[in-house]
Every structure is written in C-alpha cells, then in structure tokens.
Amino acid sequence: MAQRFSHMAETLTGSEIIRLGNEISRRIKAGERIFNLTIGDFDPGIFPIPNTLKRLIQECYDKGLTNYPPADGILELREAVSQFLNNSLKTGFKPSEIQVAGGARPLIYTIFRTLLDPGDAVVFPVPSWNNNHYCHLVGARPLVVQTLPEDNFMPRAQQLEPLLREATLLALCSPLNPTGTSFTRQQLQEICGLVLEENRRRKSGQKPLYLLYDQIYWPLMPSDLEHHHPLALLPDLAPFTVYVDGISKSLAATGLRVGWASGPEPLIQRMRAILGHIGAWAPRAEQSAVADYLGRSSEVSEFLQHINREISSRQNAFYEGLKGLQDKGYPVQVIQPTGAIYLSVRWAVRGAQTPAGKVLHTASDIAEYLLAEASVAVVPFTAFGLPPDTDWFRISVGTCRLQDIPEILESIENSLSHLSFLAN
Ligand SMILES: Cc1ncc(COP(=O)(O)O)c(C=O)c1O
C-alpha cells in the first residue's frame, strides 16, 4: 500500500540548491573536475572557523558541557549576543530579547509559526532564499515581488506598497542571498516608513504587519560599506521587527549550528515556547564557546576583517573578470557585489546554439551547458523564485580558491566562444 503523509509534506519541494550541490559533489567524488560555485557554504580547508573558537569548543566538551541547554539559550550567550549587536549595530537589545537556536533556519521557521495562521499573507521579494518553503511549511500565502537587476535585485518601496495592506509579515534580507547585494540606506528607509505607516493604520486587535529582517550576512560586507537595518533607521518599528542572525556565515561556521533572533520580548517568549517543543537548540558546548568568543572583541573584529578580505578578493576577481568578458563583447552581465558570499551573473545566451546543436532556452539549459562545457557549476535564480526563462545565476565563492579564478574565467570564456547566435 502506498504510504500517505500530510498534505504539507507530500507537496513540499526540497531545496533546489541542496539537490544541485549534492549532485555536483557526487560527480566530483566520482572523479570529475568541476568548479563547484553552487553551495552557500564554506570549504573548511579554505575558510576554517576561528582557531580560538575551535579551541574553546573543545575545552567546553572537556569540561563536560553536554546536557540540555535552557530553551532560550544560555544566559552568557544571550548577554554576549546582545552586547555584540548593541556595540556593532547600535541596537538596544536586552538578553531577554534574544532567542538562541541551532542556526538561523529553526528561528525563521519559528518566526513564521509564531506570527502566521494558515492563509495569512507574507510579502517577500524574489530572488530570495527559502521564503517560499517557510510559507509552505506553515500554510501562509506568499505575495511575491520580482525585483530588477537595475535595482541590484533589492525591492523598492513602490513595489511592496500595494501588497502590504493584506500582509501579516514582510520578509527581507540584506546582504541578500542569492544576489550578493544589499540595501542602501534610502531604499530600506522608505520600506520601513511603509511598515510603520501600515501599522499605524491597523486597528487595535488586528494583527500588526511584522518585519522579519534576516541579516545573517551583515558582517560580510566590504569595509567601505555600512550595513543598514530597520531599527537604526526607524526605532519606532521595534514592536514589529524581528532580526535573524548567527555565526553560520560570518564565522564560516555553518556546521556548528548557533543562531539567534532578536526582537520584542512578547514575540521572543512565544517563539521560546514553540522552540522548546521543537528542541532545535544549539549544543550547549558551542553556545558557551561562542559566548566566550564574542566577548573577545578585538579577536572577533580581526577575524571578520580577515574573512572579509578573503571573500571580497574572490568576489572582486569574479566581478572584474566577468566584466572584462562583457567588455570584450561576450553576452555576460555582472552586478558589483556589496556583501555576502555571492555574485549575480547573467549569461544572456538564451536562443544560442551549442556546438552539439542544442538551442539554450531555459536557465537550466544554460546551467547544464556551463557545467558540461566549462566544468563550472552555478545555481540559476529559478532556485530563488525567478521564472524558468531567467538568465541570471548565483555564483558562490565560499568553496573557491583564489588561484582557481583565472582558470574558471578562461573556461567560461571558452564555453561562450563556442556558442553560435542564430539570426532572428
Ligand atoms: C539568507 C540566509 N538566512 C539564513 C540561512 C540559514 O542559516 P543557518 O545555516 O544558520 O541555518 C541562510 C543559509 O544559506 C541564508 O542564506
């Protein structure tokens, strides 16, 4: 007899990015030489976690910190996180306004669970990461805004405005996965103004319009740029705003599983109750070690400077190289990255014919061609909510060695030079 599951489970689609990444890893293990630029993760051989953090974790296990942590996260970590955020981002979070969990994912899920009833609307821009899946998990109604390359794929206030009336949640992220771009002060300020205005309009007893601000990449920005966030621009948004953050990206520590949300205490308390049942806690030893590490401000900022230099040098090498191809007349477009570990790249080759005679129609045709002909694996923006005819892609630099970039660019150039463009 065929097994049956919940409607939600039977209709949930897995992460396209993880599927693609696994497939590439399988082929690499089987001996193929592929430049894998698909995965939003770090190669620990290239981007190790801070040495001190590693030592502190080992010491915590030696001390026997292996029992259940408290459901909200250990106090030392919530204190360290609030200080870290308050010092770096000029926020005013108390430890009671911080909720710790096993990475950002369970926190995002819990925020959706806490705020949304089935059928409630969530506004989010695409391309963006996983908002569609979180909507599906809780039965929320996605209201999607497609952003434009000329806006660096960040949403404009005018695009969001018509949808906010009926929404319970606006989900934003900056710096943004998959684009490697971030909000300017003005862009975010205008959006924050709309959220406040909408909340002032709502009657008492009505659910407010909440703002989820995923800023997990905020420490990963070029040194001459500032990370903008809602409460710095509009402190009155505090009762409606919840941030998601953690060590996964900034400390190259995706496998350690320590994340935190910060927001108004009543919301955090509800989240705590839900997370207590889910039990997606960060391990106690990791929590204790991260608390200790975050307190070492000069070491933290030295590490962040180091990782930023490493990431920026890779992003810049790709940016300059791809721009060089564009200048040579190849059908390539690239957006200057302003954060995270990604670049947005366009291969404007829809309609072109491969040496094997195949015409490239969709994003996945283009991705397959690049993989077969250039041994370069990238993720189409279809995985982040754009339609199949998009020709924009995400490059991730987290598993890339700087010295490989010239060869990757050469390979891309060769693959492009083998395409023929049919006359219309
Ligand atoms: C924007 C964004 N938020 C959250 C996450 C998840 O972070 P974590 O690994 O801490 O669950 C990711 C992971 O790729 C991400 O890109």
Going from N- to C-terminal start, the domains of the chain cover 7-47+302-421, 51-297
C-alpha to C-alpha distances, 270 to 94, 205, 262, 263, nearest whole angstrom = 16, 18, 13, 11
Ligand 1 centre distance from Cα of residue 154 (Å): 18
pLDDT of the residue at 375 = 94
Q: For residue 139, is it left (φ>0), alpha (ψ between -120 and 50) or beta?
A: left
Residue 42: partners with Cβ closer than 8 Å, 6 or more residues away: 252, 254, 341, 398, 399
C-alpha to C-alpha distances, 274 to 101, 162, 319, 395, nearest whole angstrom = 12, 32, 43, 36
Q: How many helices (H) and strands (E) does the chain have?
A: 14, 15
C-alpha to C-alpha distances, 402 to 122, 211, 374, 375, nearest whole angstrom = 39, 37, 18, 17
pLDDT tens, residue order, the chain (424 aa): 889 999 999 999 877 777 778 888 888 888 989 999 998 999 999 999 999 999 999 999 999 999 999 999 999 999 999 999 999 999 999 999 999 999 999 999 999 999 999 999 999 999 999 999 999 999 999 999 999 999 999 999 999 999 999 999 999 999 999 999 999 999 999 999 999 999 999 998 899 999 999 999 999 999 899 999 999 999 999 999 999 999 999 999 999 999 999 999 999 999 999 999 999 999 999 999 999 999 999 999 999 999 999 999 999 999 999 999 999 999 999 999 999 999 999 999 999 999 999 999 999 899 999 999 999 999 999 999 999 999 999 999 999 999 999 999 999 999 999 999 865 4
Ligand 1 pocket test: which of 41, 105, 229 has the largest number of ligand atoms within 8 Å of its C-beta? 105
Ligand 1 pocket test: which of 18, 99, 108, 216 has the largest number of ligand atoms within 8 Å of its C-beta? 216
From the list 116, 124, 224, the residue with the least C-alpha distance to 177 is 124
- Contact predicate 322/158, CB 8 Å: no
Ligand 1 centre distance from Cα of residue 104 (Å): 6
Rounded Cα distance, 14 and 76, in Å = 36
Q: Is the dihedral of CA 245, 249, 252, 253 positive or negative?
A: positive
pLDDT of the residue at 27 = 84
pLDDT of the residue at 26 = 86
pLDDT of the residue at 166 = 96
Ligand 1 centre distance from Cα of residue 85 (Å): 18
Q: Which CATH number fits domain 51-297: 2.40.50.1020, 3.40.50.1000, 3.40.640.10, 3.30.110.30?
A: 3.40.640.10
Ligand 1 centre distance from Cα of residue 81 (Å): 18
Ligand 1 atom at minimum distance from 246 CA = 10
Residue at 348: amino acid letter: A
Ligand 1 centre distance from Cα of residue 46 (Å): 20
Domains 7-47+302-421 and 51-297 belong to one CATH topology: no
**Global pTM value:** 0.96
pLDDT of the residue at 143 = 98
Buried b (16+ CB within 10 A) or exposed e, 125-162: bbbbbbbbbbbbbbebebbbbebeeeebbbbebebbbe
- Contact predicate 165/121, CB 8 Å: no
Residues in the chain: 424
Ligand 1 centre distance from Cα of residue 17 (Å): 12
Ligand 1 pocket test: which of 38, 129, 172 has the largest number of ligand atoms within 8 Å of its C-beta? 129
Residue 188: partners with Cβ closer than 8 Å, 6 or more residues away: 172, 174, 228, 229, 230, 233
SS3 48: coil
pLDDT of the residue at 210 = 98
Residue whose Cα lies nearest atom 5 of ligand 1: it is 104
pLDDT of the residue at 135 = 98
Residues with CB under 6 A from ligand 1: 40, 103-105, 129, 173, 177, 214, 216, 246, 248, 254, 259
Residue whose Cα lies nearest atom 13 of ligand 1: it is 40
Task: Fill in the DSSP letter of residue 67.
Answer: S
Ligand 1 pocket test: which of 177, 212, 218 has the largest number of ligand atoms within 8 Å of its C-beta? 177
Q: Which CATH architecture has domain 7-47+302-421?
A: Alpha-Beta Complex (3.90)
Tabulate helix, strand, coil % of the chain (nearest 5): 45, 15, 40
Ligand 1 centre distance from Cα of residue 216 (Å): 7
